[in-house]
Structure 1
Amino acid sequence: MHLAKVAVGQHSVAGLKPINQDHCGSHCVHDAQSRLKGQVLAMADGIGSSSVSQVASKAAINSFLQDYYATSDAWSVETSAKRVLQSINAWLHGYTKQSEFRYDIEKGYVCTFSAIVIKNNTAHVFHVGDARVYLLREGVLEQLSNDHRHYAAQGQSYLSRALGMHTQLDIDYSSIALCQGDVFVMCTDGVHEFLPPTDLLNGLASIASVQQERDINARAQSLVQAALANGSDDNLTLQIAYVSQLIPSQDKPVTDVMTALPLPPALKVGQVFDGYRVIRSLHVSARSHVYLVEDKDTELRWVLKCPSVDLSDNEQFLERFCLEEWIGRRIHNTHVLSVPPSERPKQYIYVLTEYVQGQSLRQWMTDNPNPELETVRGIIEQIAKGLQAFHRLDMLHQDIRPENIMIDEKGTVKIIDFGSTTVAGLQEIGQGCSNSELLGTALYMAPEYFLGEVGTTRSDIFSLAVLTYHMLSRRFPYATHVAKTRTRAQQNRLIYQSVRDENSAVPAWLDATLSKALKIDPYKRYVELSEFIHDMRHPNADFVRQSKPPIMQRNPVAFWQSVAGILLISNLYFLYVLLN
């Protein structure tokens, strides 16, 4: 993992126009928040047909720089930026619709927008409009953005995409791995239409010799002045981001403090540990020890989970263990195990969670070997609600199985283990497990993991469908064969085995629902959990038609009677023809 040291400069002027409708800004401070969210440069250009677009461009930049850093640390850069931009777009479009410009959008609150977010060793580029984003690498200048401008007859042109122009925002996104010495340039059309690429290259020459931010600002100012001297009659704005260094780093900003603590000793019943009294041991495995404890101050009962001392030298395991607490504190859902806020400083590595009085889904399945379909639906729907809470935060659970599900005394179902969970926002800074690691349980894992591919929300849908299938039949849809595959060809030979048998009460349309959720190719599965859950309860018309057997199978007597009737009529017709 490398950290990028970035020098930023910018300059914006009205040029020959009375008002500067451009606006730009940046946040490039190397603080803890920047480690988690990245460093940002953003630029907006108001459109000439609007007398208020300078309001739009200023609001867009200020809102983006504030709101982007307020998004969840769990979200990826792409998710965070797009959510914020969609919100800004809706606000600008709605403001126009409530103004005197509601019948002429191009006179309303509309602007172009471009941004670069540099996080860890990657640059994330967002763009809508006709400003431009360039990358200068090893003497080669490359345009990274597309001009969203439509050219009509007689040299007329107009913006085809911009912030605030439409109710839905279609924004370009790309990501680029950084190299030391990279120079990113963003400029409005007032600059790039009057500054040839050769002049831009010359203006950026020897930028590696620049030592201070004011020198980068001076370089940006000189390029703007060059465009103005070349006859620019528009507002002019230019930003430069120079990647002066890529610094190797081994620190883990989310877990460094916790992993620096010692591992707890073996605990005994009645012992007071870090302010908690041990009531009893709940579970012991090679990976962890789990205890029921009581807070001495509040008398509330919690579950305390400690890593096994045998794994004290396994840095990856300890990091994932500590991330369980970080993940749990960010998910607030009835169907996900809750993690309380820390009331006092910790002296050891452990995770504290709520205590669920009940039984695991595995034990429930043992006690209920032939559950009713409606009961299974109810349990799966609750698990799905918990999974949706993960997906909304750009997380994949990756280990849905009966042992990781609890049912409390009131029948509430909860997902209780986050040890295999991937967090998109943390993966971008090298934290946590990769969502292509084989960390789940083979019988429930999606096929793409065994090919070394990246998991998606469809992978969690596959695991949930396997669990549903197993609860209904006590079998697995592909037996144990999925885990044995390592090539696409091997997986293509796998055949889904129907969940129904001669004694099954499962309707054919529900079997078709499971079949779709359990497709080997992830792109043929359901896109959203909500779609799968809906089809679990409501017969999909397509599946009903597909699963309806032919009349010969539904009513063979009626079929043969119909055949005999047709033959009789045919014979009578031919007899009539012969006699006449």
Structure 2
Amino acid sequence: MPLTVSLGHASLTGPRARNEDFVGAVTPEAAELENKGLLAAIADGVGGHANGREAAEFALRSLLSDYYATPDTWSVRKSLEKVIVAANRWLFAQGAKRNETAGMATTLAAIVVRGRRWLCVHAGDSRIYLLRDGQLSRLTQDHVWEHPELDTVLSRAVGLDRHINLDFAEGELAEGDTFLLLTDGVWGSLSDARIRQIAEKHADAQEAAFALASSAVDSGSQDNSSALVLRIGTLPADSLRDTLARIRELPLPPPLKPGQTLDGLQIVEVLHESRVTLLYRVRSQDGQPFVLKTLREGSDLQDTAALAHEEWLARRVTDAAFPQVTDWPARSHLYYLMSWHDGETLAQRIARGHRFSLAELVELATRLLKALAALHRLTIIHRDVKPENIHLGSDGRLRLLDLGVAASDSGADERFNEINNPGTPSYMAPQLFEGGSCNESSDLYAAGITLYQAATRRFPHGEIEAFQRPRFGDPVPPTRFRPELPEWFESILLKAVARDAERRFETAEEFLLALQRGAHRPLSVPRRRPLLERDPQMGLKLLAAGSLLANLVLAILLFVR
């Protein structure tokens, strides 16, 4: 059952000559409602400042349009924050460069309802209330300073300062919840008891919104009076997404052998078996090939949720550098389908002895980094970049495989088991062995190790076994194994695989730029650090050994005498 919400709004000018409030909402359907939710907001242009109405309208229109343009993989909070911060920056800049718009600012209160949760954000003194089971509670705190000559002075508003701090709150939805978004013209004239009474009296959201605004005017409000009312009807199933809920109900397929069929798909071969997952190459009745990914028998609910989460992420990565998820209406078991591409993995090409030329290495690096850049723009961290997960297609495309351990700022309410090991030791950044978290930097480090291996067939810090606690020093220069590699390319590889994160590339775009500049504007070769900096304990050991040797020589000389 989908989420259903009824909306109503009203905005009355009152005794003022101009209405500086602005109210708006977006009510999407289907996938957009599932992924982004319903967004409603109210704004009140700051009184006494130029173009308060224009500031309110701009902030709200920007929020209502740009929020739905953010990636689905972003959390609701991150999407709201990014859009509002951008609007704040623009409004503040307008006031800074044009005298007639100095101080152009507005309050803002917004709420997103998605799935079975709500999240609100606000700056200023427009309020959000929740009416549940006859109890009215305020979800926001006013951002004001007390002033001896004025009623209140706003301490925060969109466009008021160069930087804006936003307040967030979130919680679970219940059927019948009523959210009230009110400007100070309404809540400043009506008591909480009166607000609750009016909201309870009018079952229709539109009637309730108009009654709140008109009652404020009748009560002597000297400001514009605006109200926006949301009433929650039905709620969707309790899940990360409806897709996750559906997938959890599907049974696991039995172990399959070549020649067998499942949902009209014929098994061609088993591609890969891990501790938890199985990959098959399959083909449809019309001969079209696919990759089918499922779980082994004995997998638990958390493994099922992890596979569903992987599919959810993969569907949102539409770049050509990744296999694409294929819908299969006949699906009756727990699995998902991806596009199949002829070719081989980078690991297979290295294993069969291919020696990459400099031009091939640069092309490989460029395509890999563009794939990672596309992934990172969606705030997805791959976490297992290695030659086995890089596919070199017969069509000339590079594709990055396997989002089985990928992490994303998806706003998920659940924690998932990892259906594969989170990374391969030889490609894991040093900070990960010290308890650090995966991020863009760790993906780029793994990309650097992969390129180093493609160039030399070796690892810059040596091969690392599972459960090993490695000690990292300076990487071995690749020219030790490939003397013909140019200095500028060596410098790029050494920077990519440096031990310290601050010495490495910060973004895929920075890494790409270094490759594009190449020999024309080369990076400086990282300085080899002194022994005491690289290994303080070894330096002390050598000092102690030298002291012991000197004492031994002195003792021998004394004994001879």
TM-score, with length taken from structure 1: 0.68
1:254 corresponding residue in structure 2 = 243
Deviation at 1:407, TM superposition (A): 0.7
Report matched runs for 1:6-45 at 5 Å. 12-25=11-24, 36-38=35-37, 40-45=39-44
Q: Distance in 2 between matches of 1:261 and 1:135?
A: 40
Distance change >3 Å, CA 180–CA 315, structure 1 → 2:
closer
2:325 corresponding residue in structure 1 = 339
1:484-518 Cα offsets, whole Å, 9 max, x none, are: 68xxxx99x74332334545434555455445444
Deviation at 1:17, TM superposition (A): 1.0
User: Does the aligned pair in 2 maintain the 1:500–1:511 contact within 8 Å?
Assistant: yes
- 1:305 corresponds, among 280, 285, 292, to 292
Q: Work out whether 1:358 is the aligned partner of 2:336.
A: no
Q: Distance in 1 between matches of 2:482 and 2:476?
A: 10
- 2:414 corresponds, among 414, 426, 430, to 430
Q: Distance in 1 between matches of 2:365 and 2:107?
A: 45
Deviation at 1:358, TM superposition (A): 1.2
Q: Distance in 1 between matches of 2:63 and 2:140?
A: 23
Distance change >3 Å, CA 404–CA 145, structure 1 → 2:
farther
Q: Work out whether 1:458 is the aligned partner of 2:436.
A: no
Q: Distance in 1 between matches of 2:460 and 2:210?
A: 61
1:552 corresponding residue in structure 2 = none
Distance change >3 Å, CA 222–CA 463, structure 1 → 2:
same
Tell me whether 502-511 or 219-228 shows the greater mean CA deviation: 219-228
Gap regions ≥5 residues in structure 1 = 550-580
Deviation at 1:406, TM superposition (A): 0.9
Tell me whether 260-269 or 457-466 shows the greater mean CA deviation: 260-269
User: Does the aligned pair in 2 maintain the 1:15–1:235 contact within 8 Å?
Assistant: yes
Amino acid at match of 1:536: L
Give % identity: 25
2:517 corresponding residue in structure 1 = 538
State the SS of the aligned residue for 1:329. helix
User: Does the aligned pair in 2 maintain the 1:447–1:483 contact within 8 Å?
Assistant: no
Report matched runs for 1:194-205 at 5 Å. none
Deviation at 1:373, TM superposition (A): 3.4
State the SS of the aligned residue for 2:316. coil
2:552 corresponding residue in structure 1 = none
State the SS of the aligned residue for 1:75. coil
Distance change >3 Å, CA 513–CA 127, structure 1 → 2:
farther
Distance change >3 Å, CA 139–CA 449, structure 1 → 2:
farther
2:547 corresponding residue in structure 1 = none
Distance change >3 Å, CA 50–CA 440, structure 1 → 2:
same
Q: Distance in 1 between matches of 2:224 and 2:20?
A: 7
Deviation at 1:336, TM superposition (A): 1.1
Deviation at 1:125, TM superposition (A): 4.9
Q: Distance in 1 between matches of 2:194 and 2:474?
A: 62
1:368-394 Cα offsets, whole Å, 9 max, x none, are: 465333322211221222222222223
2:304 corresponding residue in structure 1 = 318
User: Does the aligned pair in 1 maintain the 2:494–2:526 contact within 8 Å?
Assistant: no
Deviation at 1:417, TM superposition (A): 1.4
2:455 corresponding residue in structure 1 = 472
Q: Distance in 1 between matches of 2:296 and 2:501?
A: 39
Q: Distance in 1 between matches of 2:330 and 2:503?
A: 48
Distance change >3 Å, CA 228–CA 51, structure 1 → 2:
farther
- 1:420 corresponds, among 398, 405, 412, to 405
Deviation at 1:238, TM superposition (A): 5.8
Q: Distance in 1 between matches of 2:413 and 2:475?
A: 41
Deviation at 1:105, TM superposition (A): 6.0
Q: Distance in 2 between matches of 1:240 and 1:402?
A: 54
Q: Distance in 2 between matches of 1:81 and 1:308?
A: 36
Amino acid at match of 1:263: L
- 1:106 corresponds, among 86, 101, 124, to 101
1:274 corresponding residue in structure 2 = 263
Distance change >3 Å, CA 276–CA 218, structure 1 → 2:
closer
User: Does the aligned pair in 2 maintain the 1:289–1:307 contact within 8 Å?
Assistant: yes
1:180-233 Cα offsets, whole Å, 9 max, x none, are: 9999986546578x68xxx977878999x979877999799779967996x864
Q: Distance in 2 between matches of 1:332 and 1:431?
A: 25
Distance change >3 Å, CA 541–CA 233, structure 1 → 2:
farther
User: Does the aligned pair in 2 maintain the 1:261–1:348 contact within 8 Å?
Assistant: yes
State the SS of the aligned residue for 1:527. coil
2:283 corresponding residue in structure 1 = 294
Q: Distance in 1 between matches of 2:243 and 2:137?
A: 37
Q: Distance in 2 between matches of 1:139 and 1:91?
A: 36
1:264 corresponding residue in structure 2 = 253
Q: Distance in 2 between matches of 1:542 and 1:189?
A: 59
User: Does the aligned pair in 1 maintain the 2:236–2:242 contact within 8 Å?
Assistant: no
State the SS of the aligned residue for 2:282. strand
Distance change >3 Å, CA 481–CA 283, structure 1 → 2:
closer
Distance change >3 Å, CA 477–CA 184, structure 1 → 2:
farther
Q: Distance in 2 between matches of 1:530 and 1:546?
A: 20
Distance change >3 Å, CA 46–CA 223, structure 1 → 2:
closer
Amino acid at match of 2:80: A
Distance change >3 Å, CA 171–CA 390, structure 1 → 2:
farther
Report matched runs for 1:2-81 at 5 Å. 12-25=11-24, 36-38=35-37, 40-47=39-46, 54=53, 57-58=56-57, 60-61=59-60, 64-65=63-64, 68-69=67-68, 71-81=70-80
Aligned length: 519
1:495 corresponding residue in structure 2 = 473
Q: Work out whether 1:400 is the aligned partner of 2:379.
A: no
User: Does the aligned pair in 1 maintain the 2:127–2:183 contact within 8 Å?
Assistant: no
Deviation at 1:461, TM superposition (A): 1.8
Deviation at 1:464, TM superposition (A): 1.5
Tell me whether 62-71 or 287-296 shows the greater mean CA deviation: 62-71
Deviation at 1:111, TM superposition (A): 4.8
User: Does the aligned pair in 2 maintain the 1:124–1:173 contact within 8 Å?
Assistant: no
Tell me whether 366-375 or 526-535 shows the greater mean CA deviation: 366-375
State the SS of the aligned residue for 2:524. helix
Tell me whether 438-447 or 539-548 shows the greater mean CA deviation: 539-548
Q: Distance in 1 between matches of 2:142 and 2:473?
A: 44
User: Does the aligned pair in 1 maintain the 2:278–2:295 contact within 8 Å?
Assistant: yes
Q: Distance in 2 between matches of 1:220 and 1:523?
A: 57
Deviation at 1:414, TM superposition (A): 0.8
Gap regions ≥5 residues in structure 2 = 530-561
TM-score, with length taken from structure 2: 0.70
User: Does the aligned pair in 1 maintain the 2:475–2:497 contact within 8 Å?
Assistant: no
Distance change >3 Å, CA 106–CA 483, structure 1 → 2:
farther
Q: CA RMSD in A?
A: 5.5
Q: Distance in 2 between matches of 1:117 and 1:306?
A: 34
